[in-house]
Structure 1
Amino acid sequence: MRIVAVLSLLVLAGCGAQPAVQEQTLSQETDPLRGKTFLAMALTEDGEPRQLAPKTELSVEFTDDGELIARAGCNIMQGPVDTADGTLTIEGGSLSTTDMACDKPRHDQDDFVASVLAATPKWELTDGRLTIRTGTTMFDMAEEDKTKPDLEGTTWALDTTLEGDVASSMPAGAPEVTLVFDGKKVVAETHCNGYTAEYTIAGDTITFTPGASTLMACAPEIMAGEKAVADALRDEVTYEITADRLTFTHSSGKGIGLHAK
Structure 2
Amino acid sequence: MVVAVAGLAVLPLGGCGDESGASGSAGSLKGKSYLSTAVMENGKPKQLAPNTRIRLQFMDDGRLTADAGCNSMGADKVSTSGGKLTIGGLAITDLGCDARRHAQDDWLAKLLQDKPTWKLAGDKLDVSTASTTISLVDREKAEPDLALDATKWSVDTVIEGEVASHSMGSEKAYLTISGERVTGSTGCNELQGIVSRTGDKLTFGELGTTLRACTGHAATLEKAVLGVLKGEVGYTIDSNRLKLRSPNGSGLDLTAPR
Amino acid at match of 2:231: D
1:143 to 138, 143, 157: 138
| TM-score of the two chains, using structure 2 as the length reference | 0.66
Judge conservation of contact 2:124–2:136 (CA < 8 Å) in 1.
yes
Q: Which structure's CA Rg is the greater one? A: 1
Amino acid at match of 1:120: K
SS of match in other structure, 2:137: strand
Q: What is the aligned partner in structure 1 of residue 152 from structure 2?
A: 155
Judge conservation of contact 1:102–1:166 (CA < 8 Å) in 2.
no
Aligned-partner Cα distance in 2 for 1:157–1:128: 30
Superposed displacement of residue 199, structure 1: 2.0
Amino acid at match of 1:103: L
Superposed displacement of residue 186, structure 1: 1.7
Amino acid at match of 1:117: L
2:64 to 60, 65, 69: 69
Judge conservation of contact 1:122–1:132 (CA < 8 Å) in 2.
yes
Judge conservation of contact 1:74–1:167 (CA < 8 Å) in 2.
no
Distance change in 2, residues 1:44/1:256 (3 Å):
farther
Q: What is the aligned partner in structure 1 of residue 80 from structure 2?
A: 82
Aligned-partner Cα distance in 2 for 1:247–1:64: 17
Aligned-partner Cα distance in 1 for 2:39–2:162: 27
Work out whether 1:169 is the aligned partner of 2:169. Answer: no
Work out whether 1:31 is the aligned partner of 2:31. Answer: no
Amino acid at match of 1:131: D
Superposed displacement of residue 257, structure 1: 0.8
Aligned-partner Cα distance in 2 for 1:258–1:152: 14
Aligned-partner Cα distance in 2 for 1:43–1:104: 24
Aligned-partner Cα distance in 2 for 1:199–1:218: 25
Work out whether 1:131 is the aligned partner of 2:118. Answer: no
Amino acid at match of 1:154: T
Work out whether 1:116 is the aligned partner of 2:108. Answer: no
Distance change in 2, residues 1:112/1:105 (3 Å):
farther
Superposed displacement of residue 235, structure 1: 1.8
SS of match in other structure, 1:253: coil
Superposed displacement of residue 34, structure 1: 2.9
Judge conservation of contact 2:78–2:85 (CA < 8 Å) in 1.
no
Aligned-partner Cα distance in 2 for 1:75–1:125: 22
Aligned-partner Cα distance in 1 for 2:251–2:77: 26
Superposed displacement of residue 201, structure 1: 2.3
Alignment of 1:170-249 (within 5 A): 170-171=167-168, 176-190=172-186, 192-218=188-214, 220-249=216-245
2:49 to 48, 51, 64: 51
Judge conservation of contact 1:40–1:142 (CA < 8 Å) in 2.
yes
Aligned residues: 228
Question: Quick check: 35-44 or 181-190, which moved more?
Answer: 35-44
| TM-score of the two chains, using structure 1 as the length reference | 0.66
Superposed displacement of residue 240, structure 1: 2.2
- Unaligned ranges ≥5, structure 2: 1-16
Judge conservation of contact 2:205–2:231 (CA < 8 Å) in 1.
yes
Bigger relative CO (Cα 8 Å, ≥ 6 apart): 2
Judge conservation of contact 1:240–1:247 (CA < 8 Å) in 2.
yes
- Unaligned ranges ≥5, structure 1: 1-23
Q: What is the aligned partner in structure 1 of residue 95 from structure 2?
A: 103
TM-superposition CA deviations, 1:195-236 (whole Å, max 9, x none): 223222233332211222232114534444433321211122
Q: What is the aligned partner in structure 1 of residue 5 from structure 2?
A: none
Identity fraction in percent: 29
Aligned-partner Cα distance in 2 for 1:150–1:207: 18
Superposed displacement of residue 185, structure 1: 2.1
Aligned-partner Cα distance in 1 for 2:234–2:199: 9
